Amino acid sequence: MMRQGDCRLLRITLVLAVMASGFVGFESRAQSDNWTRLTILEENDGLFFNSDKHYTQGFRISALHPVTAPGVVNGAFDLLGGVAPIFAPGGTRQGAMFVGQSIFTPKNTQIKPPDPRDRPYAGWAYVGASLLQETDSRMLENFELNFGLVGPGALGKTVQNDFHQFILTPESKGWSSQLQTEFGAVLSYERKWRLPLAGGSGFGVDIVPQVGVTAGNIFTHGDAGALVRVGKGLGADYGPARVRPALSGTDYFDERGLDGGGAFYFFAGAQGRAVARNIFLDGNSYRTGRSVPKRNFVGDLQAGFSASWSKSLRLDVSVVLRSPEFRGQRTADDICTAALTFVW
């Protein structure tokens, strides 16, 4: 059963998400380009493999809009560009709103209390926004802010155990030991470059290097990585979107980069992160509770494919191998991802 306080916090989070999406949607409809691209993204260690541990579930819904006329969102680009060497005038601008939830558990979910040497139970429910600008069809900047809630109000226990009941698998028994309630905020900036290696607009090979920094009481890290892609329509994006922290191509999309209205490519990439804080390993910021000694350097390897049948329909599928994130973790984690994007 959900407590009254948990229900209230969930309602507040959902209302903020709806208000934010509606605001940006209203502004975009006032512009000449009034499309919205919705992406439904699911990450789960059990999608392709029989696994249920550590980062076990991530769900994210995002809405991408063009930013082509004066307004609050365009003003935010100009304000940031006036105080930092980012978002130079003349680029193609888009804005995205998103809402999501991530769930973390130990490997053995059938013991209570859980193993203190394994990852703590935790849920993270959040909303956020991204400012995306492409310059010269070769460089993409992403400034992102998200905020939300860790703890019982994030409904990790409810979502996981209700789903386990639905598919007739055992419930996780250690949720009474999850991280305590804490509001969180995460600010990120990253820059990507799209560099052709071979071929042309019809069929080619490119590499997308990336560097970024993230700061907040949920995550604090620096990251660098690259994605290699082989296929057609590579100019439409910078790779598939992912739930952060990860090597993400973001929600950015430009239909002018499609080949004959479509795109199809295979990709493989890697990202390394120097981690200063991860609340899901370090534990709550201001309260005592469960934690494990994190590793300060974490790496991801990923591979998959992306297919766009038109500017209005896209499917991304990938598998990720993540190096151990805490001391005592014996094996790497596998994460399976699938995303469906359509125009609304």
Q: Roughly how many angstroms between the first and final C-alpha of the chain, as a whole number?
A: 35
Task: Dump pLDDT digits (tens) for 272-303.
Answer: 999 999 999 999 999 888 999 999 999 999 99
| pTM of the complete model | 0.88
Q: Residue 213's pLDDT band (boundaries 50, 70, 90)?
A: very high
| Sequence-distant (≥ 6) Cβ neighbours of residue 24 within 8 angstroms | 63, 65, 73, 95, 97, 129
For residue 102, what pLDDT is reported?
97
Owning domain of residue 111: 4-343
Q: Is the per-residue pLDDT at 252 higher than 50?
A: yes
Q: Check which CATH number belongs to the domain holding 95 and give it.
A: 2.40.128.140
| pLDDT for residue 40 is more than 50 | yes
21 Cβ neighbours under 8 A, 6+ residues apart? 63, 97, 99
**Distance between CA atoms of residues 339 and 81, nearest Å:** 32
CA distance 238 to 201: 14
Radius of gyration of the chain (CA): 20
Q: List, in sequence order, every beta strand (DSSP E) within the chain.
A: 37-44, 54-67, 92-105, 122-135, 139-150, 182-193, 195-199, 204-216, 219-232, 263-278, 297-310, 313-322, 333-343
Q: Domains in the chain: how many in total?
A: 1
pLDDT in tens, 90-125: 999 999 999 999 999 999 999 999 999 999 999 999
Name the band, by pLDDT with cuts 50, 70 and 90, for residue 49: low
Rounded to whole angstroms, the Cα distance separating 209 from 192 reads 6
**Two structure tokens written together for 336:** 């399976």
DSSP state of 80: H
pLDDT in tens, 152-173: 999 999 999 888 888 778 899 9
- Token duo for residue 66: 């063009």
